[in-house]
A and B are shown apart, each in its own frame.
Chain A
């Protein structure tokens, strides 16, 4: 029984791995394994939450044995297709060669050891935090875990989750609550270990994704440095351990960013990675409302960088692939929002007068600047107030950026999407019906957290290497 529960609990990751591998350009199962596995953590959880939602609608939240049997059967069929696909060898070069200098094999091993040591030390810190506060942060228990309880305990009345009386975000999408509720059914018991495990998985899935993506697209030194900056951000580890949805949302934003950059490295005209990016954007919207804003910004940013630069045709040729990944997830989000969720509280009470109040612009800009200077709560863990954001900005001002032409599109798309999302957050604060100071104080740092992994990724993609300047190393 314990073994069955364990299998069911890891099934979303296996499903994610099969799904990502099916769309991966390189058919060999061992290629880019760390990168595929890290993407699989979030994409698997997201996809399985969508399947579980469909099951709720169809079965009325019952017959879990049949549901888990169906999940296993689907996974087995997909794995069989994957194995058949892997047998068809294709030896054409798929990726453009890496321009960044690569360290020697011995150094790579050292970097990997340093990365693992840091990861396990931060994992220990995260687990200590999580076990000390098993209910998680107030937002975790009062939003995500509460919704998970409605889903898990509610039977056919699960939809009561959208009508409890306390004025809260009852319209928030269900990726996280569904994952937790599914985990409780799989484990056979309603235990805090499930939301804790999901929080930790997304936290370190993000770290691994950042490391493996930069190691592949640049080199392991950059992968290590970028993941060290992320792991060293106390705010990131704490919020992952406290089960907040901002970390999973940050994962999907990073996944979309990485996938657009990977697409630029492909030699052929395969758009499967764009389809995966579409799915990641959809899952961002299925995780939090801010993800829907990011989705719109990503589409606009891609249009601005591709259609305006290279014309409509390249944009139109990749957009159907993006929509193919996005639409199935978006259909589920729309189904929930239109059929079950109440109107959003911020949207209902929009303060249009805020647009015409200059002092609000000034106040929000000031708070954003302060947040950028102090982001990460690093001062809680050291004697000196510290933030890596001014350091990164300073490096950029002193050294500029260094990108090959074919790489520029993905990085520009991602950077523009982040800037547009930030502008969107600015507008939400302008229009908020809540007290502006309180709203910013209780949410601004978490909004920055959602974008932080992607910002680190973009910086370490675009910045010129100090190693290359000091002494060119051998290239891959």
Chain B
């Protein structure tokens, strides 16, 4: 403060400065180190990458169905519970993704090809094409 201003004002000013600066420092100092050791894994980015190839095989707009092999709300990569249907909608926009097997084209989003095969058979669907990591394009009319 101005010379001659009370010491308590200066002390208060420094205290506020330190109270704001110090708690945030460990975050700034430690986290970049963590990055150096491991690429950050954003679960949504990973899911987005998983749908890349499928997206190219789908039309530019319209509605597609969706089928999966577990509950819609479940923990994914980062351990937090997300709606897998919502993630598929985010990844495949501007297509409209509906939780149904009625549309002509249906997106299969399974934890693995093996568990996907059971659902496909139970729902009488047919595989148009398998992509990697449990993702496939389906249509109605399987045996």
Contact = CB atoms under 8 A, between A and B. Distances in A.
Contact of B20 (A107, A118, A153): A118
A221 interface: yes
Contacts of A78: none
B9 A467 contact: yes
A471 B40 contact: no
A161 B90 CA distance: 11
B57 interface: no
Contacts of A142: 83, 86, 90
B89 A166 contact: yes
Interface in A383-408: none
A382 B42 CA distance: 26
B25 interface: yes
A90 interface: no
Interface in A154-191: 154-155, 157-158, 160-161, 163-166, 168
A474 B2 CA distance: 10
Interface residues of A, number: 55
Interface string A341-383: 0000000000000000000000000000000000000100110
Contacts of A160: 61, 94, 96
B5 A128 contact: no
B32 interface: yes
A471 B5 contact: yes
A145 B5 contact: no
A155 B62 CA distance: 12
Contact of B13 (A161, A221, A474): A221
A141 B27 contact: no
A473 B96 contact: no
A159 B8 CA distance: 60
B16 A225 contact: yes
Contact of A471 (B4, B13, B44, B97): B4
A237 B99 CA distance: 36
Contacts of B32: 128
B40 A232 contact: no
B37 interface: no
Interface stretch (A5-13, A130-138, A423-431): A130-138
B interface: dominant SS = helix
B3 interface: yes
Interface string A464-475: 001100110110
Interface size class of B (residues with CB under 8 A): 35 or more
B3 A104 contact: yes
B42 A135 contact: yes
Given A157-B61, A165-B97, A103 B2 contact: yes
Contacts of A157: 60-61, 94
B36 interface: no
Contacts of B9: 466-467, 470
Contact of B21 (A103, A104, A118): A118
Contacts of B35: 131-132
A107 B2 contact: yes
Contact of A382 (B23, B45, B90): B23
B19 to A, nearest CB: 6
Nearest to A103: B2
A125 interface: yes
Contact of A125 (B28, B83, B86): B28
8 contacts: A103-B2, A118-B21, A141-B90, A142-B90, A157-B60, A160-B96, A470-B5, A471-B6
Interface of B: 1-6, 8-9, 12-13, 16-17, 19-21, 23-25, 27-28, 31-32, 35, 40, 42, 44-45, 48, 60-61, 80, 82-83, 85-86, 89-90, 93-94, 96-99
The 10 closest A-B pairs by CB, nearest first: A232-B20, A154-B94, A135-B44, A381-B23, A149-B93, A104-B2, A157-B61, A470-B6, A228-B20, A165-B98
Given A103-B1, A165-B98, A232-B19, 19 more contacts: A104-B2, A114-B17, A118-B20, A121-B28, A122-B24, A132-B31, A133-B42, A138-B80, A141-B90, A142-B83, A146-B90, A149-B90, A164-B89, A231-B20, A466-B9, A466-B12, A467-B9, A471-B6, A473-B2
